[in-house]
Amino acid sequence: MMSLLAGGNSMITGVPGLAKTLLIATVAEVLHLNFKRIQFTPDLMPADITGTEIIEEDRSTGRRERVFVKGPIFANIVLADEINRTPPKTQSALLEAMQEKSVSVEGNTYKLDQPFFVLATQNPIELEGTYPLPEAQLDRFMFNIVIDYLSEDEEIQVVNQTTTLRNVQFEKTISGPEIIEFQQLVRKMPVAEPVTRYAVQLARVSRPSAPNPPDFIKQYVNYGASLRASQFLILGAKARALMNGRYNVSIEDIQKLARPVFRHRILMNFHAESEGVTSDNIIGRLLEIVPTPKSGLKD
């Protein structure tokens, strides 16, 4: 929800069968928005996502003309299911639409519906038949949310609830125009300079090319967080503060969102992989060593 209300897009990483698809379908229903699901497969083509032009004949006049048939990308909420199951050419079609909020077909540009939100799911890269997303394309996702297996008690509860007859009704909570207003409010929200500086410092310290990087950064990291990481960290923190009823961003907002914002932007090297060091481990170290401002520490 924070990603949607901040105007970003999100990636969910997890093994199959953890209800990732059900999650986003439920969100779309609660928000009363148009929802489309795209199942990414190795033979999926870009036109299957964006749409295509066809020749249509007017039966009354016999005149033929080109008509654009919109693809599933023309929805408010788009679930890109198993995005790393399809080749890079098709992945790029979706990611370009995410960035430009429009698609171009045969020289014509078509604006996407607003609000527009993409939630992509991907299976772990080590599974067979996957195409890892290039780093530059991963950077376009605001959050990378990792979903792991449930605890035993939670799994028992899910099994009990999903193996019986249930008629679940959802109450509509917010409309599309209201979401757009909230996104504009997020942009208008002020942030104290020390909080912004703290967010930027987290990103800068993660870069091996920065002046005097920490030893663990030089040892394990190939590339650190991008400028877009700092931008998304602030936007996400603004949305989190507003959702919690506050009109000020705290350091805790920044710290809570550091992992989902940074984990797909910090690229580990061979030494890290061989020693089992993950980007989440690096982010934890960053939160420990980057000094926090004296003010704005708590919600």
pLDDT (0 to 100) of residue 125: 60
Q: Which residue has the tokens 């984990």?
A: 263
Q: How far apart are CA 2 and CA 261, in angstroms?
A: 12
Query: What backbone phi and psi angles, to 5 degrees, belong to 123?
Result: -85, 155
Q: Per residue of the chain (299 residues), give pLDDT as tens.
A: 788 888 899 998 877 777 777 787 788 778 878 889 999 988 999 889 999 888 887 777 778 888 888 999 999 999 998 888 888 888 888 888 888 888 888 788 889 988 999 988 887 765 666 777 877 788 889 999 988 888 899 889 889 888 888 777 777 778 888 899 999 999 999 999 999 999 999 999 999 998 889 999 999 999 999 999 999 999 999 999 999 999 999 999 999 999 999 999 999 999 999 999 999 999 999 999 999 987 654 55
Q: How far apart are CA 216 and CA 50, in angstroms?
A: 43
* pLDDT per residue as tens digits for the range 94-147: 888 888 888 888 788 889 988 999 988 887 765 666 777 877 788 889 999 988
Domains, the chain, in order of start with CATH, read 2-147 (3.40.50.300), 190-289 (1.10.8.80)
| Contacts (Cβ under 8 Å, ≥6 apart) of 246 | 299
Residues in the chain: 299
Among residues 126, 289, 109, 111, which one has the least CA distance to residue 215? Answer: 289
Q: How far apart are CA 144 and CA 208, in angstroms?
A: 22
pLDDT (0 to 100) of residue 201: 96
Contact indicator for 290, 201 with CB cutoff of 8 Å? yes
Contact indicator for 86, 133 with CB cutoff of 8 Å? no
Contact indicator for 78, 118 with CB cutoff of 8 Å? yes
